[in-house]
């Protein structure tokens, strides 16, 4: 069932985005292309918008925060902070498949769900996504490919960040969470190492560097070769600014205590380094 939902979601985003109608706010910080759509504006710059997808909605600058919407979306624009400042997106709801793409120089991060609601200010806001929800982060040098999935997510986002800064600050996924990582860890690696972990909650955080993904709740980890670890309380995966995995840490009683003791690979790792990366 879950696979079918994922496939449905994937199909939504493979549609060519319609360009039948195009709206651009006065400073370009709010823009959409859609099959159908419209705005109802007041002279002070506040107003409402409605879209019918497939549609692309862009908030912020430098294409750092683009949204693809498969169904419909509607939202409110509020007048700018000052009389001359542009309108900002106050809130919106979207359904029929929603994907937020944050495109940076060295990595792309896609956050997707079946439907979404957003509440924000000029300093960003909160994006609630209903499932199935996925985060896909791809290091453009192809050294790490990361997927996190869950049933729903709450994300802290700021579409108005300066160029080069991540607009997705944090996302908490809950319900049947799965993390899949393929990573080239050493400079001369040609075949990626894999990590598959399941749990009930994952927190993807880019609030501070280095970025981390923390998985908790009935955690089970499997990896390349014979690795299979249970009895883990927490997995912390660390990513650098380029989106490359630089470390993964398993713990049962607080950070740094490795308890992966199921097979040969994990035994070796436990001897090698407490709290170290098994892949």
Closer Cβ to another protein, 51 or 245, answer by number: 51
Piece of 37-45, 56-64, 126-134, 169-177 that binds another protein (CB under 8 A) = 37-45
Among 6, 17, 50, 61, binds another protein (CB under 8 A): 50
Residue 50 C-beta: closest distance to another protein, Å: 5
Using CB under 8 A as the binding rule, whether residue 262 contacts another protein is answered as no
Q: Dihedrals φ, ψ of 31, to 5°?
A: -155, 145
Among 13, 17, 47, 203, binds another protein (CB under 8 A): 47
Q: Which of positions 165-224 make contact with another protein (CB under 8 A)?
A: none
Q: Which of positions 61-100 make contact with another protein (CB under 8 A)?
A: 87
Helix (H, G, I), strand (E, B) or coil at 106: coil
Q: Which two tokens stand for residue 155?
A: 């994300």
Closer Cβ to another protein, 46 or 247, answer by number: 46
Residue 57 C-beta: closest distance to another protein, Å: 14
Among 3, 14, 16, 43, binds another protein (CB under 8 A): 43
Strand partners, 237: 213, 248
Q: Which two tokens stand for residue 237?
A: 């995966």
Strand partners, 62: none
Residue 199 C-beta: closest distance to another protein, Å: 42
Closer Cβ to another protein, 85 or 216, answer by number: 85
Closer Cβ to another protein, 59 or 265, answer by number: 59
Query: What span, in angstroms and rounded, lies between the C-alpha atoms of 76 and 119?
Result: 10
Closer Cβ to another protein, 53 or 120, answer by number: 53
């Amino acid at each position: 069932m879950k696979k079918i939902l994922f496939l449905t979601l994937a199909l939504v985003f493979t549609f060519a985005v319609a360009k039948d109608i195009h709206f651009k706010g006065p400073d370009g910080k709010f823009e959409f292309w859609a099959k159908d759509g419209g705005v109802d504006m007041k002279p002070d710059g506040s107003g409402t918008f409605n879209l019918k997808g497939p549609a692309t909605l862009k908030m912020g600058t430098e294409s750092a925060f683009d949204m693809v919407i498969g169904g419909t979306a509607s939202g409110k624009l509020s007048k700018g902070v000052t009389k001359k400042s542009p309108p900002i997106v106050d809130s919106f709801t979207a359904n029929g498949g929603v994907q937020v793409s944050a495109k940076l120089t060295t990595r792309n991060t896609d956050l997707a769900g079946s439907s979404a609601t957003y509440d924000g200010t000029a300093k960003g806001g909160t994006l609630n996504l209903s499932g199935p929800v996925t985060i896909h982060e791809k290091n453009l040098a192809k050294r790490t490919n990361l997927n996190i999935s869950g049933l729903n997510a709450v994300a802290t986002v700021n579409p108005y960040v300066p160029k080069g800064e991540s607009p997705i600050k944090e996302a908490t996924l809950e319900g049947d969470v799965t993390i899949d990582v393929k990573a080239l860890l050493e400079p001369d690696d040609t075949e990626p190492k894999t990590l598959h972990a399941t749990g009930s909650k994952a927190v993807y955080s880019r609030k501070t560097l280095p970025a981390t993904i923390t998985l908790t709740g009935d955690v089970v980890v499997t990896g390349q070769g014979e690795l299979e670890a249970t009895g883990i309380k927490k997995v912390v995966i660390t990513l650098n600014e380029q989106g490359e995995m630089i470390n993964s840490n398993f713990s049962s009683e607080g950070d740094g205590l490795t308890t992966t003791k199921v097979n040969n690979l994990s035994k070796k790792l436990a001897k090698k380094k407490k709290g170290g990366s098994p892949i």
